A and B are shown apart, each in its own frame.
Chain A
Amino acid sequence: MQTEAIKRVPIEATGRLRALMREYFLGLDAAARDPDRRVAWCTSVGPCEILVALGFDVYFPENHGAMLGAKRLSHELIPRAVGAGYCPESCSYMNSDIGSALTGRSPLREAYGIDGPPTPNLLVYNTNQCRETQDWFSFFGRRHESPVMGICPPGYLGAVEPAQVAYVRGQLVRLIGQIESRFGLKMDPARLEEAVSLSSRASTLWREVLETARTRPAPITFWDGLIHMAPVILMRGSQAPIDYYRALLAEMEDRVRSGVGAVRDEQWRIYWEGMPVWPKVRELSEKFFDLRAVVAASTYCNSWAFRPYEGGDPLEWMAATSTEIFINRDEAFKQAFLVEMFERFSIDGVIFHNARTCPNNTNCRFGMAQRLRDKQGMPVLVIDGDLSDVRFFSTAQTMTNVEAFIEQLEGRR
């Protein structure tokens, strides 16, 4: 216990986060049982503000996929999805979520005492992340006989042109019309602007929380971020994440003032590129802690740090943020983004996670790691694994790789 106490400086806001998450999931469960309320499923960087403004309770299945991975259930559930015709090397979030539905097993039961994800009245995807979101939602649309709608922004962009944003805005207008028509609703523009404004404020605060890790020692790590990012994904468009991130930011700023680091005797500052390895987050975080290495920044946790909304057309903001996110950009943009992040966070080395079932959020498959090493002089490590399917991950080999990487960094000093 003493060792654990020395190892971890607990984040006080975590208790509040747990309560917030409980309230969120119980609220969703209640909404799904109430004939007067409607539940919409939405992708994690999908147009949730529209759904909030139209009165839906919004649920994000990717969160459930991550939970299935973190609880080490995915490898038991994925075979059921494979049996239903889904490739074992397709998105393990999707496959484990489908397997969860087919078996009725969900960590939500143990965590919150509810049967599982809420039954959707509507499913809305955004393919700015990957096409799998469309296929994933289509499975559940068929299963629940619920409408599946979505938008498909142009992908792999360098500079984002106004015409591309206008094109996506047009899709959002059409989406609103489809939902209004299907459910007999009418969008209140003021309500949409309010949802966008709340969403943006939460996102900005989240970015500020992440930015505190620029200081040395970093008060927060990527591993903490994986827990504390939940509100900015699940509760966008509401006041709750704003209040939460204000408290978290205050705590992190206090740590900065007091010189409290998330990792004892921080020696190395690492950047994590790619998806987390959810089933191994705890082991990996402890390994980095023992090596006195702080994973100070990541692309993943920054995925919900959008540009601020500064008034004007809320749909244009939604269209722009949907289109310009990192995952939707070309290699040159991504490389420039990474180089800037390395400088901002004083990074000593970068770890790329080559996630077997998530090619779209894996950025070491087209020479990026070599380019960063050769042109930027940045030490780079690529580890093989997966976001949820632990069968693609070798703990011993990965831990050796991580240790050797730190030894390599030590050799450079």
Chain B
Amino acid sequence: MTGPLFVGVDVGSSATKCVVLDAGGRIVGRNVRPSGFNYAQSAQASIDAAMRACGGSARCMTCCVSTGYGRADVPGSARRVTEITCHARGARQWYPAARTIIDIGGQDTKVIRLDADGRTTDYRMNAKCAAGTGTFLESIAVRLGCTLAEIDALAMRSTGQARVNSYCTVFAGTEVLERIKAGQPREDISMGLFRSIASRVLEMVAARDGPVAATGGVVAYCGAMVRALEEALGDRVLLPAEPQLAGAYGAALLGAEMDGAADPGSGVPVGEGAERC
């Protein structure tokens, strides 16, 4: 298989994601790794790994578009686009009917409204506060001596309706400790954490014109987050197969569009590892 490759790199506060598309717009390579201290190195390592996964190399890269918090640090980026536009683009490709995109990332939560043509009509980001983001969960998990996966597993077993109400991550931690002291089941407390995030997200959903899709690392790893969102919205949430890759996928799609490769398809992955170029 030969042809141009389009690379999208999403350097988030927690994880760096890379997606490689072939000329048909199919995802042929991908990589996720911690962003660490050096965004440029992480981005390059992620690109290299994603390229290796699809049997490509740097000389095959037709266009690289970067996004995310560290978008300015990506080597070889032809264009920098915000994660708001990229997540919208990626999610829209997976779910053309979606009108609201909820992206819950490490330090930002974004709610993006799209019109029928897929153009962004409005978006909101969380205020300068960790509440409502992945950092909130990580912070509480550390305080409880659990991993995020353990918190999620506990929450998925919850049958109660507990909520963590505090707006502040620090105060939420205190609230959790109070509930532990009060003997509330760990499962319900854990689910309450996800409901807390969902309630913050709901504040940012100004209006709903159609289906809601969720992207980002938190929904990728935490089924309880999706459940809490669906509870809060009273509706099903569309969840792509690889929600954490939506930003990188959107960036790669924008790169393909810049190059005139106009038929990106659905991004459904094809076999990896074949030699390219």
User: Which residues of A approach B to under 8 Å, CB–CB?
Assistant: 370, 373, 379-380, 382, 384, 392-394, 396-397, 400-401, 403-404, 407-408, 411-412
Contacts and interface: CB of A to CB of B under 8 A. Distances in A.
21 contacts: A373-B122, A379-B121, A379-B122, A384-B127, A384-B128, A392-B128, A397-B125, A397-B128, A400-B69, A400-B108, A400-B125, A403-B82, A404-B82, A404-B83, A404-B85, A404-B120, A408-B85, A408-B119, A411-B85, A411-B119, A412-B119
A71 B120 CA distance: 37
Contacts of A397: 108, 125, 128
B95 interface: no
Given A370-B206, A404-B84, A407-B85, A380 B122 contact: yes
Contacts of A382: 124
A382 B123 CA distance: 10
Contacts of B121: 379, 408
Given A408-B120, A411-B119, A411-B120, A400 B128 contact: no
B141 interface: no
Interface string B67-86: 00100000000000111110
B82 A393 contact: no
Given A379-B122, A400-B69, A407-B82, 15 more contacts: A370-B206, A373-B122, A379-B121, A384-B127, A392-B128, A394-B128, A396-B69, A400-B84, A404-B82, A407-B81, A407-B85, A408-B119, A408-B120, A408-B123, A411-B85
A153 to B, nearest CB: 33
Contacts of A408: 85, 119-121, 123
Contact of A400 (B83, B122, B206): B83
Name the residue among A373, A382, A397 with the largest chain B CB count within 10 angstroms: A397
B84 A407 contact: yes
A382 B84 CA distance: 15
Nearest to A410: B85
A97 to B, nearest CB: 24
Contacts of A392: 128
A384 B83 CA distance: 18
Interface in B118-165: 119-125, 127-128
Closest 6 CB pairs of A and B: A404-B84, A404-B82, A394-B128, A411-B119, A407-B85, A408-B120
B115 to A, nearest CB: 9
A401 B124 CA distance: 8
A394 B124 CA distance: 15
A394 B133 CA distance: 15
Interface residues of B, number: 17
A393 B119 contact: no
A411 B84 CA distance: 13
Nearest to A396: B69
A292 to B, nearest CB: 15
Contacts of A396: 69
Nearest to A392: B128
A370 B207 CA distance: 10
A384 B82 CA distance: 18
A373 B119 CA distance: 15
A320 to B, nearest CB: 38
Contacts of B125: 397, 400-401
A408 B108 CA distance: 18
A408 to B, nearest CB: 5
Nearest to A398: B128
Given A370-B206, A396-B69, A404 B123 contact: yes
Nearest to B69: A396
A164 B81 CA distance: 52
A290 B210 CA distance: 35
B84 A393 contact: no
Contacts of B127: 384
B128 A393 contact: yes
A407 B128 contact: no
Contacts of A403: 82
A373 B124 CA distance: 13
Contacts of B82: 400, 403-404, 407
Nearest to B206: A370
Nearest to A382: B124
A373 to B, nearest CB: 6
Contacts of B119: 408, 411-412
B173 to A, nearest CB: 21
Nearest to B117: A411
A373 B120 CA distance: 13
Nearest to A381: B123
Nearest to B108: A397
A372 B124 CA distance: 16
Contacts of B120: 404, 407-408, 411
Name the residue among B84, B123, B124, B128 with the largest chain A CB count within 10 angstroms: B128
A401 B204 CA distance: 14
A393 B128 CA distance: 7
A408 B114 CA distance: 10
A411 B119 CA distance: 6
Contacts of B123: 404, 408
B11 to A, nearest CB: 12
A397 B13 CA distance: 12
A400 B70 CA distance: 11
A397 B132 CA distance: 15
A379 B83 CA distance: 18
A393 B127 CA distance: 9
Contacts of B128: 384, 392-394, 397
A397 B125 CA distance: 8
Contacts of A407: 81-82, 84-85, 120
A371 to B, nearest CB: 11
B7 to A, nearest CB: 20
Nearest to A408: B120
Contacts of A380: 122
B66 to A, nearest CB: 12
A412 B122 CA distance: 12
Interface in B100-125: 108, 119-125
Nearest to A377: B121
A342 to B, nearest CB: 17
A223 to B, nearest CB: 22
Contacts of B81: 407
A364 to B, nearest CB: 12
